[in-house]
């Protein structure tokens, strides 16, 4: 599955590494990763006013190497780069080398691509005719055929004295003709003239199934297990993004094959590994990978696991790392849930989501009463202040169960904005609801609910409601609420039933306060 952020990070990292003459192995790995991503789909990279985007999806400025890519595009006066699906490695190599160099001439990157006989990569300069600035890759590729004939040697003059691309392309052609395509990326010479290093035999990589990393929660002999082991053995090394990318690909295959439980356990372990990663590239690599795996389609496929109590611990760890889109997914699942057990599971999932919470209150206008009730309960438990206006309207809902849930939610939120709706709920609600709302008020609501509760105390007649109101005033425990209780204990009217009940309730509340 194509991911805009991973594509941007991989391209930017490749360009950055090409500027370092002592990072040949890392350069090869970066090129391998870029070839793999290009095989998954086409992409158009744009940089306007310092804002980088891939296929019109804005890239976070904090993404590793993203700022460097924008700077290199600006240095070469490039506003857009169109990369077609299955772009050849030689084309991609020419692109990232051209961006990394100089610039020694305005059209340097274009010359690099011409030298590579590129058919699937097109760059658009910032000062070109605006009519050429089109989104379609096919139209951009047509422009390649309309370029003026290349003057022999122009590219070399533009790039300066050093130009060893021909050697690279010859090495690539030789490998291509040999039919050994699997080894192309390992053998291709990136053409840097670094000082030769003394040959050293690297230690052989340990077999995947031999001594797997401790704590692997899934079978080690599966593709997903093997990819997880490669990450767990070296969770914070420099090439972690490449290994996490392969893990994400294995996870998607496992999800499609119905192995959602293994994927959820794997993700829970990845969350733990990410906590030890350093700030910057390692942490961002984990963040990008989690978002890539937890796409909308994947979350829908993982729904049976998310609602399974056996995976409750793993789900609680993993879901906070999903994006804001996950909130919309769980709202949809909540509406379509068949029973209380499923609804409760999806409400728990929504509670775990730190992003996208602004989408939740819109469901308070749903046409089904039980959906509205469930959402009202949820926003109350989550204390979502932005839901207060809609909750206030629900106090007039035709269904008493919805009115009850809205009043309770307002009491739980307990902010000053909730005071007026709660005052209305105390006045117009049934006695049992007035008592319940009062029972939810605590000392944290002192600045909000003291005044409406004191007003209600003067007119309340229900015994249970009186007890809860007095108890709430005692818990608030401000000078004003204590004085209101003391005045109530001194009310006259020996034969007035309401006054007698109020005195008894106030006296009991004050006694509990003094004991506390």
Higher pLDDT, 360 or 139: 360
Mean pLDDT of 207-229: 73
Q: Quick check: 337 pLDDT over 50?
A: yes
Per the model's pLDDT, the better-predicted residue between 515 and 189 turns out to be 515
Looking at 147-239, list the stretches that DSSP marks H as alpha helix, in order from N- to C-terminal side. 154-159, 165-178, 184-187, 223-233
Sequence-distant (6+) residues with CB within 8 A of 507 are 489
Give pairs for 46-52: CB < 8 Å, separation 24+.
46/79, 46/80, 46/81, 47/73, 47/74, 47/78, 47/79, 47/80, 48/79, 50/74, 52/8
Q: What distance lies between CA 512 and its chain's CA centroid? A: 48
The pLDDT value given to residue 266: 94
301 CB-contact burial (10 Å; exposed 0-12 / middle 13-18 / buried 19+) = middle
Model pLDDT, residue 495: 63
Q: In this predicted structure, what is the pLDDT of residue 78?
A: 86
Per-residue pLDDT, averaged over 147-163, amounts to: 38
Residue 51 is predicted with a pLDDT of 83
List the helix and strand counts (H, then E) for the chain: 27, 5
Spatial separation of the C-alpha atoms in residues 335 and 264, rounded to whole Å: 23
Cross-strand pairs, 44? 82
Q: What is the pLDDT of residue 264?
A: 94
Give 445 or 487, the one with higher predicted confidence: 487
Share of the chain above pLDDT 70, in %: 79
Reported confidence tier of residue 205, pLDDT bands at 50, 70, 90: very low
The sign of the CA dihedral 301, 304, 306, 310 is negative
2 neighbors 248 (Cβ within 8 angstroms): no
State percent of the chain over pLDDT 90.
Answer: 12
Q: End-to-end CA distance of the chain, in Å?
A: 60
How confident is the model over 35-65, as pLDDT tens digits? Answer: 888 887 788 888 877 788 888 778 887 777 8
Cα radius of gyration rounded to whole Å, the chain: 32
142, 136 in Cβ contact below 8 A?
Answer: no
Going by pLDDT thresholds of 50, 70 and 90, the confidence category of residue 161 is very low
Q: How far apart are CA 453 and CA 351, in angstroms?
A: 30
The 10 Å CB-count burial string (b at 16+, else e) for 146-171 is eeeeeeeeebbebbeeebebeebbeb
Which of 189-203, 244-258, 378-392 is least confident?
189-203
Q: Which of 81-95, 134-148, 159-173, 424-438 has the highest mean pLDDT?
A: 81-95
- The secondary structure of residue 211, as a DSSP letter, is S
| Highest mean pLDDT: which range of 32-36, 126-130, 296-300 | 296-300
Nearest-angstrom CA–CA distance, 399 and 158: 76
DSSP line for 11-47: HHHHHHHHT-TT-HHHHHHHHHHHHHHHHH--EEEEE
Say which residues have a Cβ less than 8 Å from residue 434's Cβ, sequence separation at least 6. Answer: 425, 426, 456, 460, 462, 465, 468, 469
List pLDDT tens digits, range 461-505: 889 889 989 998 998 888 999 999 999 988 766 667 888 888 889
Has residue 442 got a pLDDT over 80? Answer: no
Let me know: does 118 contact 96? Beta carbons within 8 Å: no
206, pLDDT greater than 70: no
Per-residue confidence (pLDDT) for residue 214, from 0 to 100:
53
The sign of the CA dihedral 378, 384, 388, 390 is: negative
pLDDT at 191 over 50: no
Query: Token pair of 453, please?
Result: 């509760």
- pLDDT at residue number 293: 92
User: Residue 339 pairs with which residues in a beta bridge?
Assistant: none
CA 296 to CA 305: how far, in whole Å? Answer: 15
Q: What is the DSSP letter of 105?
A: S
In contact, 81 and 95? CB cutoff 8 Å: yes
Q: How confident is the model at residue 252 (pLDDT cuts 50, 70, 90)?
A: very high
Backbone angles phi, psi at 8, to 5 degrees: -65, -45
Contacts with 373 (C-beta within 8 Å, 6 or more apart), sequence order: 399, 401, 402, 405
pLDDT at res. 152:
38
Mean pLDDT value of segment 341-355: 82
Q: Enumerate the H helices of 41-164 as residue ranges.
A: 66-75, 89-100, 108-115, 137-146, 154-159
- Tell whether the model's pLDDT for residue 514 goes beyond 90: no
């Amino acid at each position: 599955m194509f991911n805009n952020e991973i594509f941007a990070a991989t391209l930017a990292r490749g360009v950055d590494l090409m500027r370092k003459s002592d990072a040949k192995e890392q350069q090869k790995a970066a090129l391998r990763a870029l070839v793999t991503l290009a095989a998954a789909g086409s992409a158009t990279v744009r940089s306007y006013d310092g804002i980088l985007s891939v296929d019109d999806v804005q890239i976070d400025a904090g993404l590793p190497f993203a700022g460097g890519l924008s700077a290199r595009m600006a240095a070469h006066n490039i506003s857009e780069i169109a990369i077609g699906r299955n772009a050849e490695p030689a084309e991609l190599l020419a692109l990232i080398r051209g961006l990394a160099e100089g610039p020694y001439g305005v059209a340097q990157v274009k010359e690099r691509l011409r030298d590579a006989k590129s058919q699937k990569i097109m760059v658009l300069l910032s000062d070109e005719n605006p009519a050429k600035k089109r989104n379609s890759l096919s139209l951009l590729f047509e422009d390649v055929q309309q370029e003026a004939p290349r003057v022999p040697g122009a590219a070399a003059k533009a790039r300066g004295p050093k130009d060893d691309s021909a050697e690279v392309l010859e090495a690539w052609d030789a490998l291509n003709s040999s039919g050994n395509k699997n080894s192309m990326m390992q053998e291709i010479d990136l053409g840097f003239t670094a000082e030769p290093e003394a040959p050293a035999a690297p230690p052989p990589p340990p077999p995947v199934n031999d001594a797997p990393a401790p704590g692997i929660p899934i079978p080690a002999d599966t593709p997903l297990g093997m990819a997880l082991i490669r990450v767990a053995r070296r969770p914070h090394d420099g090439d972690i993004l490449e290994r996490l990318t392969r893990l994400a690909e294995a996870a998607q295959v496992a999800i499609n094959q119905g192995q959602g439980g293994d994927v959820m356990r794997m993700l829970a372990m990845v969350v733990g590994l990410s906590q030890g990663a350093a700030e910057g590239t390692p942490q961002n690599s984990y963040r990008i990978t989690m978002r890539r795996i937890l796409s909308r389609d994947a979350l829908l496929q993982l729904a049976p696991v998310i609602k399974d109590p056996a995976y409750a611990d793993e789900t609680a760890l993993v879901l906070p790392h999903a994006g804001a889109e996950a909130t919309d997914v769980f709202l949809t699942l909540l509406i379509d849930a068949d029973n209380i057990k499923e609804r409760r599971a999806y409400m728990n999932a929504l509670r775990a989501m730190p992003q996208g919470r602004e989408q939740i209150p819109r469901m308070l206008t749903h046409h089904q009463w039980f959906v509205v009730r469930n959402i009202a309960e949820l926003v109350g438990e989550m204390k979502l202040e932005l839901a207060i206006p809609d909750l206030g309207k629900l106090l007039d809902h035709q269904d008493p169960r919805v009115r009850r849930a809205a009043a309770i939610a307002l009491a739980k939120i307990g902010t000053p904005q909730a005071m007026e709706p709660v005052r209305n709920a105390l006045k117009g609600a049934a006695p049992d609801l007035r008592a319940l709302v009062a029972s939810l008020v605590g000392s944290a609501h002192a600045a909000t609910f003291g005044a409406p509760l004191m007003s209600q105390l003067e007119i309340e007649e229900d015994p249970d409601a009186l007890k809860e109101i007095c108890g709430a005033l005692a818990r608030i425990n401000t000078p004003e609420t204590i004085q209101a209780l003391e005045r109530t204990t001194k009310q006259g009217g020996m034969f007035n039933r309401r006054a007698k009940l109020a005195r008894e309730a106030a006296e009991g509340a004050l006694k509990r306060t003094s004991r506390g």
